[in-house]
Structure 1
Amino acid sequence: MFDTHGRIKCGTISVPDFQGSLGDWTGLLGYECVETGKVPIELANGWGALKTLGARTALLAPPGGGGAAFVRLVEQPAVLAYLPMRTYGWVGYELSVRDVPSLHDRLHGSPIRVLTPPECAPGSAGWTPIEATGRAGEVLFFNGANDTLRDLEFPRAAADVDRITVAMLAAADRAAAVRFHVDALGFSEGGTFRLPYPVINAAFGLPPETESEATVISVGRMPVCEIDQFPPGTTERKQLLGYLPPGNAMVSLAVRSLNAVRAPLIAPPETMGGPLYAGRRTACTRGAAGELIELIEAGGGTL
């Protein structure tokens, strides 16, 4: 069963150029559009973003995904002060891909701007992830990993660009953010590690060898998110009043029971239809790093 506790169901992106971003995701990345429409009042209210009411939205899925995981585009005005990788909250989605060098070649010169070239991973026959930004300022990590890493399982991509496997969270207080995901949402704290992150170092003008510390949040051997301690100079993400955050706006996670969530909900749960919700209850909360988290009840008991 795909919809297990902690599974990433969707990554939502705020897009000022709706048609352009839709064309990038369906053309360059090969996703399929499975639903279009306008944001209903139940979701706008639940997100705490009432000005998104009636905004155009598209739900996208990797081909052959079977309705398991999605990317959602929501149209809203641009935030001119927004700089990718420089603010707290959700800063990137990692997607599994079939062939990293081939995707790199395909994206060359496109509106999805590649920030780092693929390189042979040390001690492995695989490739390092390539990091990119989309036209809406969304940060994307394309990873060809298909085995076990740090005791976590990363699935083999079934499509050229497959589903989101990990969400990256920038925190001012990494320990507090970890506690929220463990205590409030019922996930587990995985390992903590240090490594140079090219995209972080480039964003802040740091030497390439500068290391960042990160903690993995998981459920069993399944990764959920990576919580990174971001450098000094990171700021709160500015957003337009009544709208979603710009860029990587929100992550939707499956949970066993909304009743067991130990955090305030923005609005009471609503039962929603369509491919993403499938008649299940959903509600949103905000984490310790200010991140917007949509929870979708998958059933199966308490957390």
Structure 2
Amino acid sequence: MSNYLTHGRIVGGVVTTPDLDAALADYHERLGLELVDHGPLTADLAASWGCPRSAGAKMATLQPKSGAHCFIRLVEAPLPADFHPTRTYGWAAYELTVQEVFGWPGRLQGSGFDVVGPPKALEGLPYFIPMQVLGRGREMIYLNEVAENTPTSDLPKANSLTDHIFIVILATPNRDATVQWYEHLLQLDVGSSYTLAYSMINNAFGLPKDHRSTITMVQKGRLPIVEVDDYPESATVRSGPEGTLPAANALVTLAVNDLDALPLEYIEAPVHRSGPVYGGRRAATVRGPAGELLELLEIGR
């Protein structure tokens, strides 16, 4: 473990995909992430995530070339026929800090990534230039080039062409209650809120282009972590076979100082785990207020 890991830091995200080999080529050859582990999802890890029926699925673990302790784990799973990105509660997107964002549409041509939002500056948010892509599992990935820090948070500039996940986006039916859950139960801080015309939400729900949504940042000090988005009432719970990982952006892992100090009901008791993500540390998973799977990696003991 490195000094990169502090309370609240994003350790990684799990993505489900219908074709692991093809997705691995996309993430390794196109995004430039390094393959650091490969093998089936073990039964005990799947059970700890509350997804025992996902046990045995093919899985690959990737890390940015910068060496940041942040991983994307690809897990092979069928894509539900009724799944539509950005229309259900739970993890909606992972935001990666990257270099040269305006060159990314060309780099991704012919891959399994579909550009759904070309690079552009956002109204009222001059701090980074984002673009959005969908992968083979209809997972949403933001590729953001950081321009400057915000008044209330520090944004990381990429140390490799594609670097670590620095914000995860959570879709919720009750933004205020969700923010309070992360503040009080995970010992995080409430950051700034913004109201803006959010094209990803508006396009997904067929709303007018000028429809405005409110988002709130949850952070630790000046470290941004979770962007909590208000979703329209027509959003639904993410469906899928019982006992399996959710579709697309399936699970997020955060670092915490002490699992025992958090007033949470874990799916299974914390256990020590090996491998690149865990490094022998304890981990446990909880379901958040929007139904999201949140794995917590203990770093302070």
Q: Which residue of 2 aligns with 1:44?
A: 46
Unmatched tracts of structure 2, length 5 or more = none
Q: What is the match of residue 56 of structure 2?
A: 54
Any idea what the Cα deviations from partners look like across 1:63-122, whole Å, max 9, x if unmatched? 1315x1110011122211111100000000011010111112212353211112223567
Distance 1:89 1:40, change over 3 A: same
Give the match's secondary structure for 1:22. helix
TM-score with structure 2 setting the length: 0.95
**Matching of residues 40-119 of structure 1 within 5 Å:** 40-66=42-68, 68-119=69-120
Matches within 5 A, 1:12-51: 12-51=14-53
Q: 2: distance between equivalents of 1:4 and 1:60?
A: 20
Relative to structure 1, is the Cα distance of residues 125 and 150 closer, same or farther in structure 2, using a 3 angstrom cutoff? closer
Q: Distance in 2 between matches of 1:123 and 1:226?
A: 16
SS in structure 1 opposite 2:117? coil
1:35-57 per-residue CA deviation (whole Å, 9 max, x = no partner) reads 01111222111001111111111
Which moves more between the two structures, 194-203 or 214-223?
Answer: 194-203
Q: Does 1:295 align with 2:290?
A: no
- Check conservation: 2:239, 2:246, Cα contact below 8 A: yes
What corresponds to 2:160 in structure 1? 159
Q: Counterpart amino acid of 1:201?
A: N
Say yes or no: does 1:180 pair with 2:181: yes
Structure 1: how far apart are the matches of 2:191 and 2:59? 34
Tell me the residue number matched to 1:235: 236
CA distance in 2, matches of 1:89, 1:122: 25
* Inter-CA distance 186–283: structure 2 relative to 1 (3 Å threshold): same
Q: What is the CA-CA distance between 1:171 and the residue it aligns to? A: 0.4
Change (3 A) 1:118 1:127: farther
For the residues of structure 1 that align with 2:64 and 2:229, how far apart are their CA atoms? 27
Q: Any idea what SS the aligned residue of 1:218 has?
A: strand
Aligned-partner Cα distance in 2 for 1:188–1:123: 22
The Cα shift of 1:125 comes to 8.5
Indicate how the Cα distance of structure 1 residues 125 and 228 shifts in structure 2: closer, same or farther if over 3 A, else same: closer
1:10 and 2:21 are equivalent in the alignment: no
Match of 2:203 in 1: 202
**Partner-residue secondary structure (3-state), 1:199:** helix
Deviations 1:109-148 (A, max 9, x none): 5321111222356799886311111111100111101421
Q: Determine if contact 1:10/1:71 at 8 Å carries over to the other structure.
A: yes
Deviation track 1:212-258 (CA, whole Å, cap 9, x = no partner) reads 10110000100011000011210000021111000000000000001
8 Å contact from structure 2 (residues 286, 294) kept in 1: yes
Aligned CA distance change for structure 1 residues 17 and 175 (closer, same or farther; 3 Å)? same
- Give the CA deviation at 1:150: 3.9
Contact 1:172 1:289 in 2 (8 A): yes
Q: In the alignment, which residue of structure 1 is the partner of 2:222? A: 221
Cα 1:121–1:177 change in 2 (3 A) is: closer
Give the direction of change, closer, same or farther, for the CA distance of 1:122–1:168 in structure 2 (3 Å limit).
closer
Distance apart, 1:199 and its partner CA: 1.0
Identity %: 38
How many residue pairs were aligned?
A: 299
Please list every run of at least 4 consecutive aligned residues from structure 1 whose deviation after the TM superposition is greater than 2 angstroms.
119-128
Moved more, 105-114 or 260-269: 105-114
Cα contact 1:119–1:127 (8 A) shared by 2: no
What is the distance in 1 between the residues matched to 2:132 and 2:56? 32
- Counterpart residue identity of residue 214, structure 1: I
In 1, Cα distance between the equivalents of 2:120 and 2:215?
22
User: In structure 2, what is the Cα distance between the partners aligned to 1:247 and 1:123?
Assistant: 29
Q: Distance in 2 between matches of 1:124 and 1:222?
A: 17
2-side partners of 1:252 and 1:214: how far apart? 21
Match of 1:211 in 2: 212
CA spacing shift, 1:234–1:284, aligned 2, 3 Å: same
1:134-153 correspondence to structure 2 within 5 Å: 134-153=135-154
Question: What TM-score do the two structures reach when normalised by structure 1?
Answer: 0.95
